[in-house]
Amino acid sequence: MGTFYELPCDHCNASGWVVAATGEALPLDELVTQLSMRLQAATRQIEQLKKPRATGPEALHQDGNRLGAGGTNYTGD
C-alpha cells in the first residue's frame, strides 16, 4: 500500500477503545460488552429505518402523538 499501511494497535487491543481517564486499553470483558451494546443499538436503528413511514393525512392516524387521554393518539376527528 505504498508508504502507508495499517498495523494493529497493541495499546488498545486493536479496538480503538481506551479508558478516557487513563488512556489504557479496556479489559476484554468490558470491551465485548461495550461493542455488543453498540451493535444492538445499530441493529435497532437499521430496523427502524427499514420500516416504511406513512405520509400525508394517513400519517396522523398511524403514528401516536400522545395528545389523547392517557397518552393515546388524538386526531381531532
Distance in angstroms (rounded) separating the CA atoms of residues 38 and 24: 20
- What are the average pLDDT values for consecutive 10-residue runs of the chain, which has 77 residues? 69 82 88 93 92 70 70 72
Distance in angstroms (rounded) separating the CA atoms of residues 70 and 64: 12
Cell of 24: 489504557
**Strand-pair partners of 5:** none
